[in-house]
Amino acid sequence: MILTAEGDGRAVLLADFSGAEMASESFVTCVDLADANAYEARKALGMSEAAFVVSTSDAASLEDARAQGFWIDVACGLLLVPVLGGLNSAEAEQLTRLPVCGVLKTPSQIAKVARAIVQD
């Protein structure tokens, strides 16, 4: 599953743990909100318990990630995609005020994470 639009390092992964009360069943939903309008995004997030903002490590993208994380009303973490000249994990956390939950260094790592989430 592709998590971002071509050339755009941003995406949001949503996790729905509402089924966690049932020991044998849980649900994870992945939604790319890059092109969603505000209503669609809020509706999707309203059904979630957690979300991840995926961002490249350049300052402009991280500023955007901070803005996205600001209006997300559920637990939110950052998945960081390093770029040349970008900020490190500690700097990214300080700028975005989101905890870095993972660093994805290659497109294949991004694809592996997406497949693992979808399969669970």
Q: pLDDT tens digit string along 13-22?
A: 545 555 545 4
**Is the distance from CB of 97 to CB of 69 less than 8 angstroms?**
yes
H/E stretch holding 5: none
Structure tokens at 7: 């050339």
H or E element in which residue 72 lies: none
Out of 30-39, 43-52, 55-64, 95-104, least confident range = 30-39
Query: What is the rounded distance in angstroms from the CA atom of residue 60 to the CA atom of residue 56?
Result: 9
Helix (H, G, I), strand (E, B) or coil at 95: helix
> Using CA atoms, how far apart are residues 70 and 60, in angstroms rounded to an integer?
15
Return the domain boundaries, the chain: 11-119
Q: With a cut of 60, say whether residue 37 has pLDDT above it.
A: yes
